[in-house]
A = this chain, B = another copy of it.
């Protein structure tokens, strides 16, 4: 791809390279007529600047890195979209990498992005990451980094999160207000923090409404799968036939439980109400449709980029960055699985 350079334009027009460069950028000290001539020729030659040369000079790439635990995932896919859309507005392009919930990949990919000289990095920590030296090093090297969704409190950088605990409390409260007296909770492995927070939110709601917490009403899904939910739905009702509400920490598991319970001939929501978490696409198409907490991925992606962009600018201006924690509001989406 032998592309057009400033030099060629300059030679054709018999002026200097510097003048061409300035004319193209609309510097005020270039005469209108020259600007005209240059810009016309540039257009007709389909000139576009060589981004490597530009980046080499300016030391910025207009590229950011986005490390995501899992791409094929409704929530994360929404985040990707939010980031890309927002980045485009500011002229940034996004390199997407998948950590696959693996610490090793996460570390490698951080390195790759560093080597590509991206201007900043957005990362959601993998569930298997337990120490954060690799991230800290990148931050310490002066690279703007913003964490989203799965974060670590020990990392000193900006974070975009939802209030998992508050949202879970809202979800459980929703069940209580609709008349549920005995509410089971399906939780997950106690990592990431989001899972713990949802569990705590569940307890908060019970407490606030004077319902005593019973440990045996808390079940654990190890694989976060539909099948887990299917099995647990049955188990819960065998162990506690009088359970009239279930709050699951994630939609997919809730969907499994809902399906099994319906198949058992139990009426939803009349006998048992079910509440999920995330508002995945599938919550709209189950029978009955699933009430859940909307976790606004797109919005999180947008905010994450905005914050990162701000920090990129500050870094360039040598300003000191004060990490911010931005909480994105969630809301209850009521559908047919709760009264």
Q: Is A112 an interface residue (CB 8 A)?
A: yes
Query: Across the interface, do B85 and A77 meet the contact criterion of CB distance under 8 Å?
Result: no
Query: Across the interface, do A52 and B52 meet the contact criterion of CB distance under 8 Å?
Result: yes
A82 to B224, CA, bound (A): 23
Q: Map CB proximity to B onto A121-147 as digits: 1 under 8 Å, 0 otherwise.
A: 000000000000000000001110000
A98: which B residues are within 8 A, CB to CB? 81, 84-85
Q: Is A61 an interface residue (CB 8 A)?
A: yes
- Nearest to A226 among chain B residues (CB) is B285
Query: Across the interface, do A1 and B142 meet the contact criterion of CB distance under 8 Å?
Result: yes
Query: Across the interface, do A1 and B115 meet the contact criterion of CB distance under 8 Å?
Result: no
A51: which B residues are within 8 A, CB to CB? 115-117
CB distance from A48 to the nearest CB of B (A): 5
A256: which B residues are within 8 A, CB to CB? 285
Q: Is A191 an interface residue (CB 8 A)?
A: no
Q: With A85-B98, A95-B63 in contact, do A284 and B52 touch (Cβ < 8 Å)?
A: no
- Nearest to A91 among chain B residues (CB) is B112
A93: which B residues are within 8 A, CB to CB? 95, 97, 112-113, 116
CB distance from A176 to the nearest CB of B (A): 28
Query: Across the interface, do B50 and A53 meet the contact criterion of CB distance under 8 Å?
Result: no
A141: which B residues are within 8 A, CB to CB? 1
- Nearest to A95 among chain B residues (CB) is B93
Q: Is A217 an interface residue (CB 8 A)?
A: no
The one of B59, B96, B281 in contact with A282, judged by C-beta atoms closer than 8 angstroms, is B281
A263 to B336, CA, bound (A): 15
How many copies of this protein are present in the complex? 2
A73 to B59, CA, bound (A): 36
Q: Map CB proximity to B onto A49-85 as digits: 1 under 8 Å, 0 otherwise.
A: 1111101100101010000000111100110110011
A53: which B residues are within 8 A, CB to CB? 52, 56
Query: Across the interface, do A72 and B81 meet the contact criterion of CB distance under 8 Å?
Result: yes
Query: Across the interface, do A115 and B48 meet the contact criterion of CB distance under 8 Å?
Result: yes
CB distance from A142 to the nearest CB of B (A): 4
Query: Across the interface, do B63 and A84 meet the contact criterion of CB distance under 8 Å?
Result: no
Q: Is A259 an interface residue (CB 8 A)?
A: yes
A78: which B residues are within 8 A, CB to CB? 72
Query: Across the interface, do A72 and B74 meet the contact criterion of CB distance under 8 Å?
Result: yes
Q: With A84-B71, A282-B282 in contact, do A114 and B48 touch (Cβ < 8 Å)?
A: yes
CB distance from A159 to the nearest CB of B (A): 22
Q: Is A200 an interface residue (CB 8 A)?
A: no
Q: Is A231 an interface residue (CB 8 A)?
A: no
A72 to B296, CA, bound (A): 13
Q: Is A286 an interface residue (CB 8 A)?
A: yes
Q: Would you list 18 pairs from A and B whose C-beta atoms are within 8 A, ordered by A residue?
A: A48-B115, A51-B115, A51-B117, A52-B61, A53-B56, A72-B81, A73-B77, A93-B95, A95-B95, A95-B96, A96-B96, A226-B285, A255-B285, A256-B285, A259-B285, A282-B282, A285-B286, A287-B287
